[in-house]
A = this chain, B = another copy of it.
Amino acid sequence: MTNLKDIETDKQSRNPNENGNGLLTVGHSVPRVDGADKVSGMARFAADLNLPGLLHARPVLSLYAHARIKSIKTDAASKAPGVVRVVLAQDLPIKAGQSESRKRDPLAKDEVFFYGQPVAVVLGETEAAARDGAELVEVEYEPLPSAVDFLKAMEWDAPHVKNKPSSGADAEASMHNAAAGGAKEEEKIDLPPNVSNHSHIQRGDAEAAFKEAAAISEHTYRVPGVHQSYIETQSVTAAPDPMGGMVIYTSTQAGFYCRDEVSDALGVPPNKVRVVTMTVGGAFGAKFVLIEPLAAALAKLTRRPVRLNYYRMEDLLAANPVHAGQIYFKMAASADGTITAMKAKMIFDSGLYPGSPFWALSMLGLCYRVPNFDMEAFEVLTHKVSTGAYRAPGAPQTAFVTETAVDELAHKLNIDPLEFRLKNCVVEGDKNNNDQPWPRIGLKDCLEALGRHPVWQNRANKGKDEGVGLACGGWGGGLEPASALCRMDSDGNFTLQVGVSDISGVSTSLKMIAAEILGLEADKVTIVLLDTDAAPYAGGSGGSKTLYTVGAAVQKAAEDAAEQIKKIAATELEAAPGDIELKGGKAFVKGLPSRSVDFVKVAKRSMSRTTPVLGNGASAQRTQAPAFAAHLAKVHVDRETGDIKILNYVATQDVGKAINPDEVEGQIHGGVTQGLGWALYEQLVYTDDGALLSGSLMDYTVLNAPQVPEFETILVEVGSPYGPFGARGVGEPPVIPGGGAINSAIFDAVGVRMTEIPMTPERVIKALHEK
């Protein structure tokens, strides 16, 4: 993937000499703190911890989507060489919870509810021994009727899936998006037994608007089940702590949440569980808490360290992917190109427990002013693995639907698709679908930046079966309080202490924020991601909120440390604290750089005569910093094979302020790639009996390097009023517009509108035939 540097970005932040913003570190690209360890293989992941005495856990998975367990024969497995123990559900020291969930019921008991559900765990001295043992466990099943297809499962007489409300899923959703759960449940309607959630939102008079419309787009769309496709599978090592209690080394996005869940499961106080958040090899919403309580229970049972890490097939079968959905969506516009109404019926398959992004209903039409709408969402339980979050939950699906409709309306009204979007797009002060006013946002700026791009400017000059299309999307952004500490050490450098996981490279940006405020180069600040015994509280990493919330806390912590340093230096220099400046590891009197004291001396003084410098900062952002992206694609469609070749791809995004520009671009690269994989290739395919057909990376297609197109990124910087240095979250937006942009380009190329994701060659051919 070539990184064609964007001119605007270069001007703003590449060249320190031309930077002109007076910033020492922020805005200049700094290598990631985790980079060297990752590329050299030195980074430690949860499954790398070869703790001596380690036991290896291998699960035995269900071969049925729904069945009664008649018997489990463990004798042969137990006697196999190197097998230490075969553990069944009833052996686990897990406390019954108020609400059932995967975390509380990690092993099936009496009955299995999805294909791939863990039924037993074999513990071995080696992984090979455990694996061999797992093959010797004999489970006898009596198959039961199953509800696999979510549309059939919605029928009144479908086999019942156990309806288990899961508060955990809600908690995770709220870590992602501050607006989660904001959907109003105004009416009580009679719902089929497998429908676990329903939402209905209305504004104005949609029916009347549709009657008066000059153009209407109306389709029923299908979006696939997908897996988050992190490189590192679900991994945890649980070990009895030599200091007492239990240590959980885990690839989690949320250490404190994990602590609460594990302590709850084991029935011990939170302070008896210490969660160490490890290097995360990709998470994308799927790694809050899943197998940690099971691993902790196994370690508690055996009093030995236990490693549980899923093989790829197990991860595809039994982690927490996203399930398929169907969205009926109708949109109308008046002759002058004003969007007037939306109608929707959105149905999401949620698998065994609630947790689907049905609450993303209000994200339909997110980017536009729509005066009238009437939209409903349904969540359906099925005999499939339970669902998890996926980068920008609900947003790629709703944006694909919205952008396809918007593009169709523009074409029907013969209005330039960019002009149509610019006319209708939301700006500061417009109300969102929840009737809240948008704060300062950069959607229009992103669209305008795309409009200036040569690929758009020259869109008429295209070859045969080539097309240019665009789409936009946005993410409200999460909010969660956070705190941070900034400690001066004996060598005059700093330790920045936070309680977050790093799923995105955010550590580097966080230390840059602290360094900037302390007048230092970034390498003078060491960031430590502390365990839950020690860390200042922070919420989960996700929802494009870590930099926005924890970064704000870091900023305050560094400011607090700076104030403390200024006080000490003021006494040394016989000046007022307000007259002291910090730069280059020195505190000096403003305008008199020779009257200075260096940080080593300040540190020594703080530890001998005054007070240790420990900056404390907390943030509770009250206002979201929504971040928008607009993508432009030029494609060629092969009418023979249905193959779509991406010729150009341009991604613009309002990042508020790029703290570490290379890292921000890296996030966008990853997001665009993931979004294109979603649009074109990825899907979980189940048989009618609920067996997963796409159970390996041979069958489940994620983009590999040659499939990733060249693309350009344009960083737009519409500063957020509350983010550190104006920064907004950047993780979610780039995954959102891909499907819509490709679909618009396909239409421009060959005149068909796809309504099913992924837009595989087979489906393109089918669409061309139907045309």
- The verdict on A462 contacting chain B, using a C-beta distance below 8 Å, is no
Partner of A483, one of B42, B270, B480, B611: B611
Whose C-beta in chain B lies nearest to the C-beta of A534? B534
**A481-B608, A483-B611, A530-B533 given; A242·B620 CB < 8 A:** no
Of the candidates B50, B244, B491, which one forms a contact with A270 in the assembled complex, judged by CB atoms under 8 Å apart? Answer: B491
Would you give the 0/1 interface string for A268-291, flagging 1 where the beta carbon is closer than 8 Å to chain B?
Answer: 011100001000000000000000
Q: Does A144 contact B (CB under 8 A)?
A: no
Known: A495-B271, A497-B534. A612 touches B481 (CB 8 A): yes
Minimum CB distance partner of A552 in chain B: B611
Task: Judge if A485 is at the interface, Cβ distance under 8 Å.
Answer: yes
Which of A557-593 touch B at CB < 8 Å? 560
| Interface size counted on chain A using CB atoms at 8 A | 54
Question: Does A252 touch B at the CB level, under 8 Å?
Answer: no
A525 to chain B, nearest CB (A): 11
Q: Is A76 interfacial (CB 8 A cutoff)?
A: no
- Find residues 523-559 in chain A having any chain B CB closer than 8 Å to their own CB: 526, 528, 530-531, 533-539, 553
In the bound complex, CA of A531 to CA of B619 (Å): 26
Q: Which residues of B contact A243 (CB under 8 A)?
A: 44, 276
A249 within 8 A of B: yes
Closest to A48 in B: B242
A260 engages B481 (CB within 8 Å):
no
A210 at the interface (CB under 8 A from B): no
Once the chains bind, are A495 and B528 in contact (CB under 8 Å)?
no
A487 at the interface (CB under 8 A from B): yes
* A44 surroundings in chain B (CB, below 8 A): 242-244
A256 near B: Cβ within 8 Å? yes
Cα distance A530–B534 when bound, in Å? 7
Q: How far is the CB of A64 from chain B (nearest CB, A)?
A: 38
B534 touches A533 (CB 8 A): yes
Minimal beta-carbon separation of A178 from chain B (angstroms): 10
A482 at the interface (CB under 8 A from B): yes
| A23-59 Cβ-contact flags toward B at 8 Å (1 or 0) | 0000000000000000000101000011111000000
Alpha-carbon distance A695/B609, docked complex (angstroms): 41
Query: Which residue of B52, B271, B528, B618 contacts A534 across the interface (Cβ within 8 Å)?
Result: B528
Interface string of A580-618 (1 = CB under 8 A from B): 000000000000000000000000001111111010101
A654 within 8 A of B: no
A349 beta carbon closer than 8 Å to chain B: no
Given contacts A242-B44, A256-B490, A526-B271, contact A616 B616 (CB under 8 A): yes
Identify 14 residue pairs between A and B in the complex whose beta-carbon atoms are under 8 Å apart, listed by A's number.
Answer: A44-B243, A44-B244, A270-B489, A271-B489, A480-B608, A481-B609, A482-B612, A483-B612, A487-B537, A528-B534, A530-B534, A536-B612, A560-B616, A614-B618
The 5 closest A-B pairs by CB, nearest first: A52-B52, A534-B534, A611-B618, A616-B616, A52-B53
B-binding residues in A (CB < 8 A)? 42, 44, 49-53, 242-244, 249, 256, 260, 269-271, 276, 480-483, 485, 487, 489-491, 495, 497, 526, 528, 530-531, 533-539, 553, 560, 606-612, 614, 616, 618-620, 622
